[in-house]
Amino acid sequence: MAERVIPLHPHRPAPQALHVPAQALVQGASLADQLGRPLRDLRISVTDRCNFRCSYCMPKEVFDKDYPYLPQSALLSFEEITRVARQFVQLGVRKIRLTGGEPLLRKNIEILIEQLAQLRTPDGQPLDLTLTTNGSLLARKAQSLKDAGLQRVTVSLDGLDDAVFRRMNDVDFPVAEVLAGIEAAQAVGLGPIKVNMVVKRGTNEHEILPMARHFHGSGQVLRFIEYMDVGATNGWRMNEVMPSAEVVRTISAEMPLVPMEAAAPGETAERWAYADGGGEVGFISSVTQAFCGDCNRARLSTEGQLYLCLFASQGHDLRTLLRGGASDAELAAAIAHVWQGRSDRYSQLRSQLPADASSATSGRRVEMSYIGG
C-alpha cells in the first residue's frame, strides 16, 4: 500500500522543539519574561472545530468540509491538559480560560472542568476558572458546567437583530437561542457574565446601541472588541475596524459613560461605567490601543503547542515532551525557560506601522480557532 503523505498544514506551522534547560527552575513568583511580565493567565483551546462560521474567525470559504481539522489522536487528552495546567499554576498562573473553536463541542468537557477546578495555587487558593463560548449549547449545558466547578462564562454575541446575527455566524443560527443560553448561565450562577461583541464596520456597528441598551442594568458586562488582524484567513482590513473611542462616543451620546480604574494589571478590557449606575461596559482595543505592556497570557493550542502571543507564528511543542516521558519538574522547567525568553508585543509593533499595513510580522500567523481567543 502506498504510504500516505500528510501535507504541512496551511494554518498550523511546524512547532519549535522544546528543550528542558540544564539550570535549576526559577520559582514561579519571580518568573518574568524579557519585558518583565509575569505569567498569570492561561488560555486553553480544547478543540479547533466550531459550529459557527463567523467571517472574522472561520470564514466558510476556508473552513469548509474539506478543511483538515486535527484528528482526535493529536488533541491533548484531559489528563494531559490538567498535567500541563498544574505546571503553569506552579509558575504563577491564577486564571484559566477554556476556549477554542467552540469549547462546548469538546465531548465531556465537564470532566476536564472538574479536573481543573481541583487545582490549587502554591498558597492553596482555587483558580479563576472560566470559559468563552458562542452560547449555542449553553442553555443545555449551563447546569452541568456549573456543577463541574466552572465559575463564570463569557458569551460572544455580535448583535441582537436576528438577521444580522444569523449573517454574522453564517450558519443561520438564531439569536434567541444564545440569549436563552445567557439567561440559563445567569440562572445557575455562572456570573458575572461577560458578553463579547466584535464590532466590524460596515457589518454590525448599528447593533452597538441596541446591545448597550439590552445589557444596561442587567448585571451582565458587555465588552466591545475591535476587529483584529488575527490569523491569515479573514481578509482583515483596517477600514473595517471601528476604534473603541468611536464606540464610547456612540454610547455616551445616549447613555453617558465615565472611565473606571482597571481591576487587575494585565486586564484586556478598559472599563467604563454608566453614569446613571446601570453597570459597566468594557472595550478591548488591541488595534488602536495596544496593551502588550503588561500582557501576562500564555496560550495552549488544541494539540499542546505553547504560544506566547495571539499573533505568534510558531508554538513550542509541549506535547512531545509530555508524551516523551518528561517529569513534572522537567515540564515546568521547559515552560519557565520559554517564558523567560518571551519578548512578544505584536499589537504594540503593529500600532507603529502605517494605518494601511496589514501585518507587523512577516511570518504566517495561526488561526484564532486553533489557539483560542
Residues that contact ligand SF4, how many (by CB under 6 A):
24
Q: Counting contacts by CB under 6 A, is residue 346 touching ligand SF4?
A: yes
Q: Counting contacts by CB under 6 A, is residue 305 touching ligand SAM?
A: no
Q: How far apart are CA 171 and CA 166, in angstroms?
A: 7
Task: State whether residue 310 is helix, strand or coil.
Answer: coil
Angle 355-359-363 (CA atoms, 0-180°, nearest 5)? 165
Annotate each residue in 89-108 with x if it binds ligand SAM (CB under 6 A) or - if it does not, as one string. ----------xx-x------
Q: Counting contacts by CB under 6 A, is residue 50 touching ligand SAM?
A: yes
Q: How far is the CB of 334 from ligand SAM (least distance, A)?
A: 26
Beta strands 270-274 and 280-284: pairing type?
antiparallel
- Please choose which of ligand SAM, ligand SF4, none residue 230 contacts, taking the beta carbon within 5 to 8 angstroms, the exact cut-off set by kind: ligand SAM
- Residue position matching grid coordinates 518583565: 36
Q: How far apart are CA 222 and CA 207, in angstroms?
A: 12
Q: Which of 10, 82, 75 is nearest to 319 (CA)?
A: 75
Q: Counting contacts by CB under 6 A, is residue 93 touching ligand SF4?
A: no
Q: Give the helix, strand, coil percentages of the chain, each rounded to 5.
A: 30, 15, 50
Closer to ligand SF4 by Cβ: residue 102 or 207: 102
Q: How far apart are CA 168 and CA 172, in angstroms?
A: 8
Residue choice 100, 159, 231, 315 for contact with ligand SF4 (CB under 6 A): 100
Question: Cell numbers at residue 270, please?
Answer: 478598559
- Please choose which of ligand SAM, ligand SF4, none residue 227 contacts, taking the beta carbon within 5 to 8 angstroms, the exact cut-off set by kind: ligand SAM
Chain residue whose CB lies nearest ligand SAM? 373
Q: Counting contacts by CB under 6 A, is residue 222 touching ligand SAM?
A: no
Q: Counting contacts by CB under 6 A, is residue 198 touching ligand SAM?
A: yes
Residue choice 47, 82, 87, 134 for contact with ligand SF4 (CB under 6 A): 134
DSSP strands (E only) in the chain:
16-17, 41-45, 95-99, 128-133, 152-156, 194-199, 221-226, 257-259, 270-274, 280-284, 297-300, 305-307, 316-317
Q: Counting contacts by CB under 6 A, is residue 368 touching ligand SAM?
A: yes
Give the footprint of ligand SF4 on residues 246-265 (CB under 6 A): none
Q: Counting contacts by CB under 6 A, is residue 212 touching ligand SF4?
A: no
With CB under 6 A as the contact rule, which of the stretches 65-73, 131-139, 269-277, 335-343 interacts with ligand SAM?
A: 131-139
Q: How far apart are CA 262 and CA 112, in angstroms?
A: 31
Q: Counting contacts by CB under 6 A, is residue 370 touching ligand SF4?
A: no
Closer to ligand SF4 by Cβ: residue 274 or 311: 311
Give the footprint of ligand SF4 on residues 29-58 (CB under 6 A): 50, 52-54, 57-58
Residue choice 230, 247, 251, 310 for contact with ligand SAM (CB under 6 A): 230
- Residue position matching grid coordinates 443561520: 172
- Please choose which of ligand SAM, ligand SF4, none residue 309 contacts, taking the beta carbon within 5 to 8 angstroms, the exact cut-off set by kind: ligand SF4
- Please choose which of ligand SF4, ligand SAM, none residue 225 contacts, taking the beta carbon within 5 to 8 angstroms, the exact cut-off set by kind: ligand SAM
Give the largest Cα separation in the chain, rounded. Answer: 72
Question: Which residues lie near ligand SAM (CB under 6 A)?
Answer: 50, 56-57, 99-100, 102, 132-134, 156, 196, 198, 225, 227-228, 230, 234, 368-369, 372-373
Question: Which residues lie near ligand SF4 (CB under 6 A)?
Answer: 50, 52-54, 57-58, 100-102, 134, 156, 286, 291-292, 295, 297, 309-311, 344-347, 369
